[in-house]
Structure 1
């Protein structure tokens, strides 16, 4: 099944190269990737569509695994990276950098977005860390929601005080693969692989936590250390993806639930399926956004159209209980 999904992901990546305002044949795409001669098609593929496809694959995998970790850590099937305030912290950092420091250029935006996300995750853990003898994940959820709401309000206020920051806030709030600098692909790939490796190292501990704190302790699992490592993995994955493509929602909600239906209950297997399903969802959203309207609909908007009904169905379903 994983092999089949990998093939489907590869086909979607090819479709992402072919579909757009100007459709390209497979022969044209192959020539653009292999022939050294400069052409309009080669420029279109290498400078626009190929970077978008690679961004969708790495950012999608990061957002999907971050969502899985958030759901496992909080044992809440409705959780996703934004619930811990990471997206709000990244957006606030970008608005502050643009409005007060005059930062311009994508490298500067990415640096401040990542810094804001890391500091937000640390603040959320310090405020919501468990009391002695308790490992209740609800404290982390409430802390993340509260900090996220505060930072969202501050970011909106700053964007009104500093109008030049408004466009950047809007770009990161909506989320898009369009117009991103290809130079961020390698750093995003490295951070995504690092975050997924850290998440995979915590998979057995998360399986133990799913049995409850008492059972996990009896199995020799260090609950607090696991929470810190998982929160670090969420921060790395969500922050890098948010810095690269913006605060695209619902990928981290949809992909883990689809993966559970295919993989069962093991966190490691669910993570493997999520790494393939999440990029597939983001690629589909990006391609659909290109052809849905005469112009282009941002991938974050398409994900919201798909994810909002799913969220309502999960909230009303009988299985909307703690994991």
Structure 2
């Protein structure tokens, strides 16, 4: 599908090429505990040990709790606990959706059971001042599953200088059921830019035992000017092991980007660069056999 999308969009003149890569990423594992507290005003506080580092982690928990209890998302607020809460594995390893999402679903179902057929509004309305309904659930994510991503990337290569420009990209992904579309897009786009830096510019080269890029002025990172038009195609079957059939997405995209870029450079110029980053110098040397 990724190949069809990029071929349909772009006729390729000389010096341009398309590269493909395909990869999978296992879903994260671990155990965590989430507590829910239903207040008299009908709001629900979800207490968790995981923070939100900008990837929409708290939005994920909020949406799962709201959907399970049939309330508007604005009625659910997520609060990160400090050391008074249970131990939490934290963000990393593509674990938030399967682990914390699973705990949020378990806690919401526990609260639903405790309401004994009443709606959230009915149960909250029956509370006396100062009262609340609380539940706690622990979830251990152990099931095997994988997300998948196909990359199709178009580049232009200047044969005289070896310079590589990424012109467009398509990602075809299977992450199961999408819970937070905005959060998911942020994860996929961010992963793509991360991979773009790995492919073309980020380099921790050593010189006389020292890292040559001593600061962020020397260590090159992608900027918005380096990011090409990017299309994301969802091919999800909804059968993931996470809540509501979701899968992980956090580290799915970035590993395949350098492979697709290197393949595109070879398609465009014949230069086969096997060392990252794919710099202009390396492309130039490959073209001249030096």
**TM-score calculated relative to the size of structure 2:** 0.26
**TM-score calculated relative to the size of structure 1:** 0.24
More helix by percentage:
1
